[in-house]
Structure 1
């Protein structure tokens, strides 16, 4: 069993996701009480992929999040640093150009993508601000970023209940359905310690993104942040 520490050593996080790759999508559906499918739909709408556009789906895992972009006629590149995730994804979707890559050193040229997106992966990057600048670098001027990430519920009583679920209910559920339940204890702790909506928006602005805004989903359990690369 591998459980990454909250200082996010890259090899620990990659190994952790390798361990859970086979049942990752099923586990997410169970732990989110089915909400993960709704969140993916909202990401797809926010990205607004068009035919012939180039889309980078970072931290794509098995590429479940990439499929709506491909269905829209875009050229989507699922990118992840977990080789286990990439192997499972390639077996399921051999037509997609899976690419191994570190969010802080992306293997792409400048100004390549019309849109870049990362769902539930940014908080697992050791150097978040470096990753935000890397996403900016590979996006064409006028292109867009969409980040879907766990955040802070806006209603205080609900926030208390949600935190209790994360720290008390999530681990036993993970033990029942996941191949590496310790990984989900780490994930719960990383969610609790992640910046709230305004703080992440500020970091996007500091990285160089403009017109930054966010929208809450499921009462703020998840936030969609969006920004644009200046022309």
Structure 2
């Protein structure tokens, strides 16, 4: 079984997600105490896709995160670099055009999407800035971006409890439901090392996104970051 480290070498991260693909969605539901569904609804509401729009769902894994956009009538393209995740997704959602791609070198032309989103995957990319610039490139002028990612709880007692859960409770819980519990040790470490809400907003601005803002979910355990591509 594979376990990536915080250097986030692409092959190691992809292999790790290949290992956990079969039970990934179930494990996430268990570890988040069912919150993942609420977070997905929040992403869909924030992106506010319209029928006929083209949406890039980056880091889509098995494609579960893409379903709300398809149901809204959008032409959604789920993209991920884990072939294991994509194979599992194809079994479950054969109607979705699951696409293999590296977030830092997307296989799409300039300006072909109306919106882009990435949920719980940006922190696993070895070059965050490159991924943000690539999403900017493939979105049309005026196009929208929504990022859903683990963040830093704003209430100090919650932050303490959350950190304890990540490093002590999460690994044994993952062992009972995941095909590769060691992967969740890496995931816990990657969450702790990730920048806070203001820090990620700064990265969006540095990459060229405008109208950057964020909204906390579940007390800041998760944050939704939004941006727009400047008009030409």
Tell me the TM-score normalised to structure 1 length.
1.00
**Using the alignment, how far apart are the partners of 1:159 and 1:76 within structure 2?**
35
**Which residue is equivalent to 2:27?**
27
Instruction: String of CA shifts for 1:48-68, please: whole Å, max 9, x gaps.
Output: 111000000000000110000
**Using the alignment, how far apart are the partners of 1:108 and 1:200 within structure 2?**
24
Q: CA deviation at 1:142?
A: 0.3
**Which residue is equivalent to 1:174?**
174
**Using the alignment, how far apart are the partners of 1:158 and 1:90 within structure 2?**
38
**Which residue is equivalent to 1:16?**
16
**Which residue is equivalent to 1:102?**
102
Query: What is the RMSD computed on CA atoms of the aligned residues?
Result: 0.4
Instruction: String of CA shifts for 1:31-51, please: whole Å, max 9, x gaps.
Output: 000011100000010111110
Matches within 5 A, 1:155-166: 155-166=155-166
Secondary structure (helix, strand or coil) at the match of 1:107 reads coil
Residues 1:75 and 2:75 aligned together? yes
Secondary structure (helix, strand or coil) at the match of 1:212 reads strand
User: Gapped runs of 5+ residues in structure 1?
Assistant: none
Q: CA deviation at 1:72?
A: 0.6
**Which residue is equivalent to 1:122?**
122
**Which residue is equivalent to 1:207?**
207
**Using the alignment, how far apart are the partners of 2:23 and 2:44 within structure 1?**
23
Secondary structure (helix, strand or coil) at the match of 1:202 reads helix
**Using the alignment, how far apart are the partners of 1:105 and 1:24 within structure 2?**
25
**Using the alignment, how far apart are the partners of 2:24 and 2:71 within structure 1?**
22
**Which residue is equivalent to 2:66?**
66
Q: CA deviation at 1:158?
A: 0.7
Q: CA deviation at 1:80?
A: 0.1
Residues 1:133 and 2:139 aligned together? no
Instruction: String of CA shifts for 1:166-223, please: whole Å, max 9, x gaps.
Output: 0000000000000000000000000000000000001100100000000000000000
**Using the alignment, how far apart are the partners of 2:37 and 2:4 within structure 1?**
26
Moved over 2 A (4+): none
User: Gapped runs of 5+ residues in structure 2?
Assistant: none
**Which residue is equivalent to 1:153?**
153
**Using the alignment, how far apart are the partners of 2:47 and 2:18 within structure 1?**
27
Secondary structure (helix, strand or coil) at the match of 1:65 reads helix
Tell me the TM-score normalised to structure 2 length.
0.99
